[in-house]
Amino acid sequence: MPEIPPSAFVLAVFGIVYLGMILGGLPRLHLDRTGVALLGAIAIVGAGVLTVEEAARSIHLPTILLLFSFMVISAQMRLGGFYSAVTRRMAGLPVGPAGLLGVVIAVAAALSAVFTNDIVCLAMAPVLVDACLRRRVDPVPYLLALACASNIGSAATLIGNPQNMLIGQVLQLPFGRYALHALAPVAISLLLLWALLAWSLRRGEGALPPAPTAPDPEIPPFDAWQTAKGLAVALALMVIFLVTDWPHDVAALVGAGILLLSQRFHSSRVMGLIDWELLILFMGLFVVNHALERSGLTAAAMQALVAAGVDLRDTATLFVATLGLSNLVSNVPAVMLLLPAATGPDAARMGTVLALVSTLAGNLLIVGSIANIIVVDAARKRGIVIDWARHARTGVPVTVASLAVVALWLWVAR
């Protein structure tokens, strides 16, 4: 039996892994994207393509540490009842429907720019549903505002979502400079989101589910001290990122360590809120992508694309490729695939394109972002249905408009 060339084996593993990214798993197997990425990494190591040490070195540890640290900080805020308290407060404001939409969008975007957008949606969505039902208003527009605004807002910084953390760490982008470039397109996109939802705002068809009569036991009560600790660490990190050259991953890790020193919350409760599957997904894809790069196939593919007139180092081409891949394999795997094209003297501009487009593209479909899925699932558990068509009526125009804003902004700022 002829021996399979190592490059062919790596290409086969890569193809299977990214097929799993497209399908959300593999047919006939109980594997999600994380399981597929992990098995791909195991196959690479098991076949001897990479040694265990080489596989470990291929994992970009600063990105993993930064992501883990902000998961700890967000878990602290969630256990302290901060997100639920903010949601109840804003839902109780004496404003009309359009005003409430504006408040939800502004708050969700601001929180997602500092804390991981998925955790913001996970904590706020159930409380927002209950608050809307108590006000006897249709929760769907407000839930769509939460999901879309959290995605848009997370694009404003290099810590707002996992793919931005990866881009910022690998390309060593200046935190403040990126935020300055991203602020205008993010702000305009949020205004467009509000205008679209305010224009289409109406009561849902049929009767609303009954308003909840008792608090959800899964929603933690507000703890001012624990919340203050989390906010203090987050604020300190923002200052450190803006005015010092202290490595972001180290600073965030120290902040997370401080929060773990608690007499109120057992560390197991905090660890239980860490998205370990996302961390494993990152590590598995790092190994698989490194194996492909070391085989020479990545460089060969880039050369073939250039020969065909497709240069990913061109801003417009990278823009289109990021948009397409983000909706095909989801934004984190797409960014990992495209990061090699963002190197070189124009890395800052290329990184900004990757971060903005991959994040804003997540609003297009429900499956385009974990935040969308979290919000839809929270609504379903309370009898509120947000199907593909209902989400698309908001997600598609918001995505098209926000990406048009980014394209125009990049053209003006070139």
- Write down the pLDDT at residue 211: 57
DSSP-based three-state secondary structure for 309 = coil
Has residue 411 got a pLDDT over 50?
yes
pLDDT for residue 29 is more than 70? yes
Residue keyed to tokens 């892994």: 17
Residue 69 has what pLDDT?
Answer: 93
pLDDT per residue as tens digits for the range 150-196: 999 999 999 999 899 999 999 999 999 999 999 999 999 999 999 99
Strand, coil or helix: what is 342?
helix
Task: Tell me the per-residue pLDDT of 287-304, one tens digit each, with 9 for 90 and over.
Answer: 999 998 888 887 788 788
Compute the distance between CA of residue 186 and CA of residue 189 in angstroms, rounded to an integer.
Answer: 5
- Residue 137 pLDDT: 85
Q: Tell me the pLDDT band of 35, cut-offs 50, 70 and 90.
A: very high
CA atoms within 13 A on the CB side of 144: 30
Q: What confidence tier does 110 reach under pLDDT thresholds 50, 70, 90?
A: very high
Contacts of 333 (CB under 8 A, 6+ apart): 18, 21, 33, 285, 325
Residue in this structure with the two tokens 């933690």, named with its chain if needed: 220
Q: What is the pLDDT of residue 4?
A: 55
**Residue 19 exposed, middle or buried by CB count within 10 Å (0-12, 13-18, 19+):** middle
Residue extents of the structural domains in the chain: 6-412
> What pLDDT is recorded for position 218?
62
Q: How far is Cα 400 from Cα 396, in angstroms, rounded to an integer?
A: 6
Angle at 295 between CA 290 and CA 299, to 5 degrees: 85
Contact 340, 302 (CB under 8 A): yes
The answer to whether the CB of 405 falls within 8 A of the CB of 186 is no
Structure tokens at 80: 């302290």
214: DSSP letter: S
Tally the C-alpha atoms within 13 A of residue 338's C-alpha that lie toward its C-beta. 34
Q: How confident is the model at residue 205 (pLDDT cuts 50, 70, 90)?
A: very low
Mean pLDDT of 348-364: 92
How far is the C-alpha of 50 from the C-alpha of 46, rounded, in Å?
8
